[in-house]
Amino acid sequence: MKTSYLAATCTALTGPSSIRIVEQQAQPLQSDEVRIQVHAAGLNFPDLLMTQGKYQFRPEPPFVPGLEAAGEVIEVGSDVRCVRAGDRVMAGGKGGALAEQWVVREAAISPLPPALSFSEGACWQTAASTAWHALVERGHLQPGESVLVLGASGGVGMAAVKMAKHLGATVIGTGSNAEKRHAINQAGADHVLDSADEEFASRVKVFTEGKGVDVIFDPVGGELALAATRAIAWNGRYLIVGFASGQIPSFPANHALIKTYSLIGVRAGESPRRDPELAKRQSAALGELAAQGVMMPHISHRFPLTDAEQALAVLERREAIGRVVVEFVTRP
């Protein structure tokens, strides 16, 4: 095992331009830890926000971004029982994936399903767990219901489109340009709308025969959130997933009262940490979905580790369709 490795390191809270490729020294493992040789790391919008100091989890520089990766196990701690050296795995955590080596706790590891490549596995866990937790655990989506997915061309949004279709729902997705809307359609959405359309809410109602949508999945926030509430059905569920727009909306309480819709917060990572039974249920469901190849990620951009700054900048410029991946070449 190499005693040193390269890592994309955030050196200041000024965004992607602060990323430097830094050599790190491998540290001894704790008894419940696993060391992974990273083959691919999937970028998520929170990675960008962390480099700007705008995410709810706010590490101080220097730190290594990256919430998820896939690779091979190269070393395990003395108490680790479920994985061993040579296993192909996916892993998640609060940071550190943008490195040739990543140390995580055994509980953060899951097998890489044969249906997924390393790059697909590196993009699967975070988006899939968010979509499943939001639509199944929090939104209680039922077959035959309708879902409006805002920001449906993003990694989490596209996973939500595919998950909702898997559950038997009618799906309406939004995208900001023709290329993104085409990708949303290819992902399985029944209807696709321009998010800037001034007739946005009324078009949603046409698609739902005047009823409005049963569930809104919103990882975007901002002005689009308030426009979407005008298209929600009686007793609808509004899933607050995130604020990729950078703007946190203020929902009018009187409107929620009049239409009797629920505003539901979604914390797909924190909720299982607080609820062991939910963690077991979520892990089992995600394992089955991964084995079936449900929510296969669409990867629009691939970069080497040396271009991690440019990879994050793609997220900053909102050019990604689906996912951005950093792929690693094993050094001799």
Domains, the chain, ordered by start: 4-115+297-327 (3.90.180.10), 126-270 (3.40.50.720)
* The pLDDT value given to residue 169: 98
Secondary structure E strands in 78-221? 88-92, 101-105, 109-111, 146-149, 170-175, 191-194, 213-218
Q: Is the dihedral of CA 110, 92, 173, 302 positive or negative?
A: negative
Mean of pLDDT over the chain: 93
Q: Hey, what are 273's tokens?
A: 């940490």
* Residue whose structure tokens are 């940490």: 273
* The pLDDT value given to residue 270: 83
Instruction: Show the CA angle centred on residue 278, arms to residues 119 and 65, nearest 5°.
Output: 35
For 229, counting Cβ atoms within 10 Å of its Cβ (0-12 exposed, 13-18 middle, 19+ buried), the class is: buried
Confidence of residue 331 (pLDDT cuts 50, 70, 90): low
Q: Give the global pTM.
A: 0.87
**Residue 242 and residue 184: Cα distance in Å, rounded?**
19
Whether 332 has a pLDDT exceeding 60, the answer reads no
E strand or H helix at 303: strand 299-304
Q: Hey, what are 219's tokens?
A: 């990882």
Q: What is the pLDDT of residues 177-229, one digit of tens each?
A: 999 999 999 999 999 999 888 898 999 999 999 999 999 999 999 989 999 99
Half-sphere exposure of 23 (CA within 13 A, CB side): 3
Segment 128-136 mean pLDDT: 95
Closest CA to 192 of 156, 224, 223, 161: 161
276-292 vs 118-132: helix axis angle to the nearest 10? Answer: 130
User: In the 8-state DSSP scheme, what is residue 12?
Assistant: S
Phi, psi angle pair for 217, to nearest 5°: -105, 115
* The pLDDT value given to residue 16: 97
Whether 107 has a pLDDT exceeding 80, the answer reads yes
Closest CA to 240 of 268, 215, 218, 216: 218
